[in-house]
Amino acid sequence: MIVAQRKPFEEIKKSLAPYENIVVAGCGTCVAVCLAGGKKEVGLLASQLRMSFGLDKKNVKVSEVTLERQCDREFLETVKNEVEQAEAVLSMACGAGIQFLAEAYPQRPVYPGVNTTFIGVAEAAGLWTERCRACGECLLAETGGICPRTICSKGLNNGPCGGMMEGKCEVDPERSCAWVLIYDRLSQEDRLAAMEAVRQPTDYTRQTQPGKVTHAAYLRRYHADSK
Amino acid sequence: MPTPSEFRQALASKEFILTAELDPPKGADLSVVQEKISALKGKVQGVVVSDNHSARMRMAPLGLCRALLDQGLEPILTLTGRDRNRLALQSDLLAAASLGIQNVLAVTGDHTSWGDHPQAKPVYDLDSLQLLGALNALNLGQDLSGNPLEGAAPLFTVGAVVPLTANPLQPVIMKFRKKAAQGVDFFMSHPLFDLNNAGPFFEQTREIKTPLLATVCLLKWEQVAGYLPGNIPGLFLPEGMLEQFKSWGEGAYESKAWEFARKLIEAIKKDGRFRGVHLMLQGEEIRVGELV
């Protein structure tokens, strides 16, 4: 899932200063799971904003709405009334959702309520860690299911750097070196040959911004001449 | 075809090789390091010029390497993949070759978080193995994309680093073998303090005959006193050694450390497994004459 962290309250409040009628829009998918921007977090933030504006003797209307997903047009349409009745929107979705919401309502200023951090997993209650950099050419088959481009701080392709110490990473001694983990895993699976091959430089054409993926069905529907 | 570098010729000779590390200045004025250059002249067969050492921004090694050549010293340019992508790395290498700089030590590079610009983007477009691939491609007259180079191809003497006392050792040995197979003219170790610790590495890599230089590092008292495993990238002090260094105390440390280094150099010479010694004097290059 996409992991995000709520922005500091003061930053959020400052960005909303020009408005007297705002709607806080949550997203019910990834950011809800990582406790950054789901329905519950929307409620907490909206209450905090109301109290804070109240203490400032400022009359600001703060409404709440949470969509199933902000990265999908059909869900964005469901909040048309709430968005159009407000002067500005504070989106608690990931960066993709915030942008798609802004795109769907070009007449309304949209502000981010979270910082989007990475694609990761829920390692424990309240602990999320990164697992994927979305590089576009997955090499997990050859690295024992451990991604060096993500888990190695330097994203190295061919083995540990000289900073590895007692199996730990140069950058964070609390974290295992990705290449030591990969070596151990491949060794356990009797597949060390996969690590012996020299991996060529990463193909960054796979990461050209902005990325685009088209399904064959889409092409058939909208581009009849496509194969 | 260019003439092989003096360092390549030294590697091919029978003499025991000495090199020393030199950091370019943090500034545009090379006179800052002139005393060090003069001290190293005639004492070492190669001067390894660091590339934003410890991720701290300094003059690019290209400038100091050329100054060394002008003064009759043999430069070894360090090149890290941390700060430049494959275009910049290759074009800098071509610039180096055009300036007569032919020896290159290809390294990964300490992470930017250690340095004085921790917010900088760590590039690592090429890792050290891929950097070796680029060097060997250029030597063959083509770039990493297979495009031919105009004019005579460069003739780089290619170096790489190996942390031969690392733990765990197996993944490090695997990378060492990959580097050797990629085409390396010389290896340099990470700082070594006790030759006994190099045993397991040599036992498992007997088939690789590439010249290997042992790095002797003069640690400062503060580095010893404040040492924790992992607080200086690439520096591993075996436990007994750390205790010994600390037991000298701050007052006696410096003279004892230099004496220790002298003995270690002699031991490496006698040992027979190393092709030479690389000195990391950490700013004290002016005193190189006390060691060699």
Report residue A2 as tokens: 């996409």
Contact B240, B179 (CB under 8 A): no
Give the closest-approach CA distance of A207 to chain B in angstroms. Answer: 13
pLDDT at A104 over 70: yes
pLDDT in tens, A176-185: 999 999 999 9
pLDDT at A187 over 60: yes
A123 alpha-carbon distance from chain centroid: 16
From chain B, the residues in CB contact with A204 under 8 A are 125
Which of A143, A146, A151, A165 should one mutate to test binding to chain B, selecting the residue with the greatest count of B CBs within 10 A? Answer: A165
pLDDT at B214 over 70: yes
Predicted pLDDT of residue B72: 98
Indicate the average pLDDT of chain A: 96
Report residue A158 as tokens: 């061919």
The CA distance from A52 to B203, in Å, is 69
Which chain B residue has the Cα nearest residue A199?
Answer: B130
Report the percentage of chain B scoring pLDDT > 70.
100
Phi and psi at B169, nearest 5°, equal -85, -30
Contact B189, B164 (CB under 8 A): yes
Predicted pLDDT of residue B171: 98
Q: Which domains does chain B have, with CATH numbers?
A: 6-290 (3.20.20.220)
Average pLDDT of the residues in A123-129: 96
pLDDT confidence bin for B153, thresholds 50/70/90: very high
Indicate the average pLDDT of chain B: 97
Q: Which domains does chain A have, with CATH numbers?
A: 2-118 (3.40.50.2300), 134-201 (no CATH)
Predicted pLDDT of residue B238: 87
A187-192: long-range pairs with CB below 8 Å, 24+: A187/B170, A189/A144, A191/A144, A192/B174
Radius of gyration, CA atoms only, chain A: 22
- Given A165, A201, A204, which is nearest B230 (Cβ)? A165
Predicted pLDDT of residue B1: 78
Work out the angle between the directed axes of helices B170-183 and B128-139 (0-180°, nearest 10).
Answer: 10
Predicted pLDDT of residue A226: 58
Report residue B154 as tokens: 């460069």
The answer to whether A38 contacts chain B (CB < 8 Å) is no
Predicted pLDDT of residue A227: 53
Cβ burial of B256 (10 Å; 0-12, 13-18, 19+) is middle
Inter-chain residue contact B126 with A159, CB threshold 8 Å: no
Average pLDDT of the residues in A46-74: 97
Which amino acid makes up residue A47? S
Inter-chain residue contact B233 with A167, CB threshold 8 Å: no
Chain B residues near any Cβ of chain A (below 8 Å): 82, 86, 107-108, 110-111, 113-114, 122, 124-130, 133, 144, 161-163, 166-168, 170-172, 174-175, 177-178, 181-182, 190, 229-230, 233-234, 236
pLDDT at B80 over 90: yes
Give A73's contacts (C-beta < 8 A, 6+ positions apart).
A100, A104
Average pLDDT of the residues in A133-148: 96
Secondary structure (DSSP) of A166-208:
TTB-SS-TTSB-HHHHHHHHHHHTT-THHHHSPPPPP-GGGGP
Contact B261, B218 (CB under 8 A): yes
Average pLDDT of the residues in A27-46: 98
Torsion angle (degrees, nearest 10) of CA B230, B231, B232, B237: -60
pLDDT confidence bin for A223, thresholds 50/70/90: confident
ipTM of the complex: 0.96
Contact B163, B234 (CB under 8 A): yes
Report residue B28 as tokens: 């545009």
Q: Which residue has the tokens 């329905």?
A: A39
- Given A156, A192, A204, which is nearest B108 (Cβ)? A156
From chain A, the residues in CB contact with B236 under 8 A are 165
pLDDT confidence bin for B140, thresholds 50/70/90: very high
